[in-house]
Amino acid sequence: DMGGHDTYMHKEIFEQADAVDRVLRGRIDDRFSTVHLGGLNLDAREARSVRRVKILGCGTSYHAGLIGAQMIEELARIPADAEPASEFRYRNPVVDPDTLYIAVSQSGETYDVLAAVQELKRKGARVFGVVNVVGSAIARESDAGVYVHAGPEVCVVSTKCFTNTTVAFALLALHLGRIRDLSVADGKRIIEGLRKLPAQITEILDQEAEIKKIAEEYADARSMMFIGRVRGYPVAREASLKLKEVSYIHAEAYPASELKHGPLALIEPALPTVAIVPDDDLLEKNRAALEEIKARSGRILAVAHQEQEKADRTIVVPKNEDELDPILMGIPLQLLAYHTALALGRDIDKPRNLAKSVTVE
């Protein structure tokens, strides 16, 4: 049942305020400015002994993991990174007992992720799951974990589960942070930010009509460049994946800082750039990148917290705490991918060559 929407993708994009509400529900502890994650099974002593975090997933879940790794580093100050599970399992990884491994999966059935989990467990590692489907293979194989509570996701292209997974990582990062060195004041600040998310998501989705117009303007592009820096970079990567899988327009994501090391050669009017420009300590750096693109007559669509002078179009998103901004900045770009695909007459819920859960190697 699509509940009045024409596609599941559209329905699921518009379910995100409720979905985020669900992942937060019952987990916030105002007394200690932290969160409770019932399935974690990690006492404070164990949490303090984690020396590294390694996040594994595929596709969109991997991108959510990239955002999660940054949140864990920022809030808990534990070195963290994310890697495609499919790569990890084939490179005879060094498995370290002081590392917390986290497997991320919407379906909980992706074979590459499951195989990585099994290999890790065989080598004695501690593996957590950040999973949407309750009772799925990866949830069962993990030692503990956090459910994402996005609800059923039917469209092959993942949207609400991505957003909820990033929120689940924010909760995990806050939890680990408050057991370690994150102050009460910072804990409170993050909790307040988390509570604002559902209303801010609604504010973004209310801009659908403008985003649709922008999508129609850019739908003739043969290729698009997505750029961002630090917190914005995984957002750019996910937005680039969304666009290519549902519209079949070629898209590339680059750190804005790397443009001058090669891809600037591609910039011309026929290659539009989508730039993630959060209002944080890197704002001026990001503006400089926009100038470089403009100087080469590149068209620019910015996703930012304020109108960007150098951009041809800006989608203004509400500001949250710096650490939580990535959760919101990808949402308008889900709508951009959706309306581009619609303008091009694509089969939105079932893009060619893709399956909802990839249970083969």
Contacts to ligand F6R by CB under 6 A: 58-61, 105-107, 110, 113, 156-158, 245, 357-358
State the nearest-atom distance from the C-beta of 108 to ligand F6R, in Å.
7
State the nearest-atom distance from the C-beta of 102 to ligand F6R, in Å.
13
Choose between 78 and 235: whose C-beta lies nearer to ligand F6R. 235
State the nearest-atom distance from the C-beta of 110 to ligand F6R, in Å.
3
- Do residues 300 and 272 make contact, with C-beta atoms less than 8 angstroms apart? yes
State the nearest-atom distance from the C-beta of 61 to ligand F6R, in Å.
4
Looking up tokens 């992942």 gives: 23
State the nearest-atom distance from the C-beta of 133 to ligand F6R, in Å.
8
Which residue is closest to ligand F6R by CB? 59
DSSP string computed for 55-80: EEE-HHHHHHHHHHHHHIIIII---E
The Cα 346–Cα 147 span in angstroms is: 32
Q: Provide the b/e sequence for 243-279 (b: ≥16 CB within 10 Å).
A: bbbbbebebbbbbbbebeeebbebbeeebbbbbbbbe
Counted residue by residue, the chain has a size of: 361
Choose between 10 and 299: whose C-beta lies nearer to ligand F6R. 10
Helix (H) or strand (E) holding 210: helix 208-218
Choose between 119 and 245: whose C-beta lies nearer to ligand F6R. 245
Choose between 105 and 308: whose C-beta lies nearer to ligand F6R. 105
Choose between 70 and 105: whose C-beta lies nearer to ligand F6R. 105
* Residue 121 neighbours by CB distance under 10 Å: 16
